[in-house]
Amino acid sequence: MTEAQLREKIAGYTRFPPRGKLNVVTDTTQFMSIQADDILELDGSYYLVRGEEVEGRFGLDGEPKYWVKRVIDLADGSSKIIKLVFHEKFLMQLGSLQIECFRSPVKEARILDKIRGDHRFMQGVNVLDSAGNQVRILDRIQGKRYYDHIHELEMDHEVYFYELFPSIFDRIIGCVEAINRLHRIEELHGDIRNDHILIERGSGAYRWIDFDYTYDWAENPFGVDLYGLGNILMFTVGKGFHNLPDLAACGPAGMKIRSCLEPGDLSLFFKHRIANLQKLFPYIPDSLSYVLLHFSQGAGVFYEHTDELLQDLGACRLDIMPR
């Protein structure tokens, strides 16, 4: 496509077209140098870069993710997200274990192919740039992060638990079922977090995003994913996380609860996070508390497969009824 043709396309989709000579990029290896108003030419298609996504966590927007570009597809004007190749690795502490985690663009591309059409997950296509880099072109999901949705609920926990939690719980079981599909085809999500579920505007669908992390844990291949699901369950049941330092801010009542907590009541993953939420909220049924305690320091048995977790969550349904 000529520069004149590109400018004509851009003019149809944006009020502020780039000035000066257009910079068309075909090799995305140096992703830090790709700026807003550059054009990515990938597999015969053209995308106008608008900026970078930011790392949103704990309700805040953080550092730009320079390898993740916000773009306009010049074929139809739709918003897309383009993920470029970026490799990193780190060690995750889980109890006494250290587990190596790393980014794998190839793994994310493979999952996108396998779950195409399953709208419990983000959707997209994979292409190679001129240097052979695995580039993922994703449909943007318009909606809200699950983390933000829960934190924005303005009600006390008991009202939440009886009025809203039953329907939210069913949605979260659906999210676990989606991860179970990945595990059955021998794939991992790799980075299960509360802000990696988006609630789609309009449909209200809960959808998983970001599959590019993976990990090596031969003893429990699905273990990190399962502990991520455990954190989401703690967050959902508790209407947010509850940590030991938070109890000090609750005055004498908080200190009384703290005096009743034992090391076994705390999360295996986060040492100051309370897993035994029944000690904070006695109306939580035993069947649900039983599930949460599988992710505690006092657990004698851990989940090894999502099938096991789903079976126990299903048993909770009868005990979780609107008041």
What CATH number is associated with residue 276?
A: 1.10.510.10
Element (H, E) at 3: helix 3-13
Q: What value, to the nearest 5°, has the Cα angle with vertex 58 and ends 321 and 146? A: 40
pLDDT of residue 58: 47
Q: Is residue 123 part of a domain?
A: no
71, 156: one domain: no
224, 300: one domain: yes
pLDDT of residue 256: 75
Confirm if 139 and 126 have CB atoms less than 8 A apart.
no
Nearest to 125 by CA among 182, 175, 81: 81
pLDDT of residue 63: 83
CA distance 141 to 230: 25
Place of tokens 């993976």: 214
In which order are the strands placed within the sheet that holds 79-83? 24-25, 39-42, 45-57, 60-73, 79-83, 134-139, 124-128
Q: Which residues contact 16 (CB under 8 A, 6 or more apart)?
A: none
Nearest to 52 by CA among 90, 84, 30, 7: 84
79, 147: one domain: no
Q: Is residue 107 part of a domain?
A: no
User: Which among 60, 84, 108 is the end of a domain?
Assistant: 84
234, 315: one domain: yes
CA distance 65 to 209: 15
**How many structural domains is the chain composed of?**
2
Q: Which residue range(s) make up the domain with 80?
A: 3-84
Q: Is residue 173 part of a domain?
A: yes
Q: Is residue 21 part of a domain?
A: yes
pLDDT of residue 249: 65
Place of tokens 């250290």: 98
Can you give the CATH number for the domain in which 36 is found?
Answer: 2.30.30
67, 196: one domain: no
pLDDT of residue 17: 83
37, 148: one domain: no
Q: Is residue 126 part of a domain?
A: no
Q: Is residue 129 part of a domain?
A: no
Burial of 133-168, coded b for 16+ CB within 10 Å and e otherwise, reads bbbbbbeebebebbbebbeeeeeebeebbeeebeeb
Q: Which residues contact 235 (CB under 8 A, 6 or more apart)?
A: 147, 150, 194, 241
CA distance 33 to 6: 21
Q: Is residue 260 part of a domain?
A: yes
Q: What value, to the nearest 5°, has the Cα angle with vertex 274 and ends 273 and 280? A: 145
State the pTM of this model. Answer: 0.93
166, 53: one domain: no
- Please report, in tens digits, the pLDDT of each residue of the chain (323 residues total): 899 999 999 999 998 888 889 999 999 999 999 999 999 999 999 999 999 998 765 444 568 999 999 999 999 999 999 999 999 998 887 777 888 899 999 999 999 999 999 999 999 999 999 999 999 999 999 999 999 999 999 999 999 999 999 999 999 999 999 999 999 999 999 999 999 999 999 999 999 999 999 998 888 889 999 999 999 999 999 999 999 888 876 656 676 777 889 999 999 888 899 999 999 999 999 999 999 999 999 998 889 999 999 999 999 988 987 66
Q: Which residues contact 152 (CB under 8 A, 6 or more apart)?
A: none
